[in-house]
C-alpha cells in the first residue's frame, strides 16, 4: 500500500494574514518554534484584524492535524471572542430577522414574522423578544417591516402567485398550502385580493397592489378603506381569515390544550356559545 501526501490549497485574503519571524530550530525539515504564549497572543491579534469582516474567513473541514491540538486532544489555540461571534453567524440560506436578532432560513421567515405579529396582536409572550410592534399596524408578511414593501399577485395558470420587487425576504410559496395551519407550515398569513375592493384591475396579469392585503392585515385594511361596509359583511369576511388557536399552537405561542379541555370547547361551539380568536376588535381599529 502506497501512501501519498494530499495537498490542499486554501485562498486567504492578504488582510487576514500577519508576517511572523520565529526562531529556526531545525533546517531540514524546516522547523519553526513558537512559545505557547506568543501563539496565543498572535491568535488574539489576528482576531482583532479580521473581526471587522468575519465572513471573509475561509472555512475548512477539520482533520487530524488541523486545527492544532494538544497531546490530550483539546484545541490548542482558541479565541473565546471569535468563537462566540462565529457561532452567531448565519448558516447557508439564513437571513437576520428585522424584528429580533435571530437568524432564520428564508423559507421560514414568513412563519417567524407571523409569530412576532400574532404575539403582539393577542398580547402573548414573544419568546424571541424583538422590537415593540403596535398591534393595529400593517406589516409585510415576508420581512415584518411596515410601509417598506409592496406585494402584489400575479395570475399564472389560474393560480395567484405573490410577487414583490422590493422586499429583500420575498420568496415564492404555495398559497393554497398556506390556507391551512400545520406544524411544518404554521402561518396562514398570505397576500389576498381584498373582497371589498371590487374595482380591482389587472395589468399584464398583475393585480393592483393597493387591493392586495396580507390576511393578518385585513382587519386594519377594512377599517381604513371600507368604513361604509356593514358590520355583518365585515364580520363574514373576517371569519374566512380568522386566526384559530391551532395556528397559535403551531407557531409556539400557546401550549396545546388537553383532550378534555378541547372536547369541552367543541361542545361549546356546538351550542353556539364559544369564544373564538376573531379579528372583530381589530377591524374597528382598536
**Is residue 119 one of the residues assigned to a domain?**
no
Q: How high is the pLDDT of residue 158? A: 79
Q: What is the pTM (predicted TM-score) of this model?
A: 0.64
Q: Are 47 and 168 within one domain?
A: no
Task: Give the Cβ contact number of residue 230 at 10 Å.
Answer: 9
Q: How high is the pLDDT of residue 282? A: 43
- Cα(131)–Cα(126) distance, rounded to whole angstroms? 10
Q: Are 156 and 78 within one domain?
A: no
Q: Please say which residue of 39, 56, 87 terminates a domain.
A: 87
Q: How high is the pLDDT of residue 69? A: 79
Q: Are 163 and 276 within one domain?
A: yes
Q: How high is the pLDDT of residue 247? A: 97
**Is residue 5 one of the residues assigned to a domain?**
no
Count: domains in the chain: 2
Q: Are 82 and 154 within one domain?
A: no
Q: How high is the pLDDT of residue 159? A: 83
Q: Taking all residues of the chain, what is their mean pLDDT, rounded to a whole number?
A: 81
The candidate with the shortest Cα–Cα distance to 82, out of 70, 67, 96, is 67
**Is residue 251 one of the residues assigned to a domain?**
yes
Q: Please say which residue of 87, 121, 137 terminates a domain.
A: 87
- Cα(53)–Cα(182) distance, rounded to whole angstroms? 39
Q: Are 68 and 152 within one domain?
A: no
Q: Are 271 and 190 within one domain?
A: yes
Helices 231-240 and 218-225: crossing angle in degrees, nearest 10, is: 160
**Is residue 236 one of the residues assigned to a domain?**
yes
Q: Can you give the length of the chain in residues?
A: 286
Q: Are 62 and 166 within one domain?
A: no
Q: Which residues contact 98 (CB under 8 A, 6 or more apart)?
A: 143, 144, 145
Q: Please say which residue of 87, 114, 139 terminates a domain.
A: 87
**Is residue 161 one of the residues assigned to a domain?**
yes
**Is residue 200 one of the residues assigned to a domain?**
yes
Q: Are 156 and 265 within one domain?
A: yes
User: Could you tell me the residue range of the domain that residue 43 belongs to?
Assistant: 14-87
**Is residue 190 one of the residues assigned to a domain?**
yes
Q: Are 153 and 28 within one domain?
A: no
Q: Are 55 and 165 within one domain?
A: no
- Cα(219)–Cα(285) distance, rounded to whole angstroms? 8
Which parts of the chain have pLDDT scores under 50?
A: 1, 199-204, 273-276, 278-286
Q: How high is the pLDDT of residue 274? A: 42
**Is residue 106 one of the residues assigned to a domain?**
no
Q: Are 152 and 81 within one domain?
A: no
Q: Are 156 and 228 within one domain?
A: yes
Amino acid at each position: 500500500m502506497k501512501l501519498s501526501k494530499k495537498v490542499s490549497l486554501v485562498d486567504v485574503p492578504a488582510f487576514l494574514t500577519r508576517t511572523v519571524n520565529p526562531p529556526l530550530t531545525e533546517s531540514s525539515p524546516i522547523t519553526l518554534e513558537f512559545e505557547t504564549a506568543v501563539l496565543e497572543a498572535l491568535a488574539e491579534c489576528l482576531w482583532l484584524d479580521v473581526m471587522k469582516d468575519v465572513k471573509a474567513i475561509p472555512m475548512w473541514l477539520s482533520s487530524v492535524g488541523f486545527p492544532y491540538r494538544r497531546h490530550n486532544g483539546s484545541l490548542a489555540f482558541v479565541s473565546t471572542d471569535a468563537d462566540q461571534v462565529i457561532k452567531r453567524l448565519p448558516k447557508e440560506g439564513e437571513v437576520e430577522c428585522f424584528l429580533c436578532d435571530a437568524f432564520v432560513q428564508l423559507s421560514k421567515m414568513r412563519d417567524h414574522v407571523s409569530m412576532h405579529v400574532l404575539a403582539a396582536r393577542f398580547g402573548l409572550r414573544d419568546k424571541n423578544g424583538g422590537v415593540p410592534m403596535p398591534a393595529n399596524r400593517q406589516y409585510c408578511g415576508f420581512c415584518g417591516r411596515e410601509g417598506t414593501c409592496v406585494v402584489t399577485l400575479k395570475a399564472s395558470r389560474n393560480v395567484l402567485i405573490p410577487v414583490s420587487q422590493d422586499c429583500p425576504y420575498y420568496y415564492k410559496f404555495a398559497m393554497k398550502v398556506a390556507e391551512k395551519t400545520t406544524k411544518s407550515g404554521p402561518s396562514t398569513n398570505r397576500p389576498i385580493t381584498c373582497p371589498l375592493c371590487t374595482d380591482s384591475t389587472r395589468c399584464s396579469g398583475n393585480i393592483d397592489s393597493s387591493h392586495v392585503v396580507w390576511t393578518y392585515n385585513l382587519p386594519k385594511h377594512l377599517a381604513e378603506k371600507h368604513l361604509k361596509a356593514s358590520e355583518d359583511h365585515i364580520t363574514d369576511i373576517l371569519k374566512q381569515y380568522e386566526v384559530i388557536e391551532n395556528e397559535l399552537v403551531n407557531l409556539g405561542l400557546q401550549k396545546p390544550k388537553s383532550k378534555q379541555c378541547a372536547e369541552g370547547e367543541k361542545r361549546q361551539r356546538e351550542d353556539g356559545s364559544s369564544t373564538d380568536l376573531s379579528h372583530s376588535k381589530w377591524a374597528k381599529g382598536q
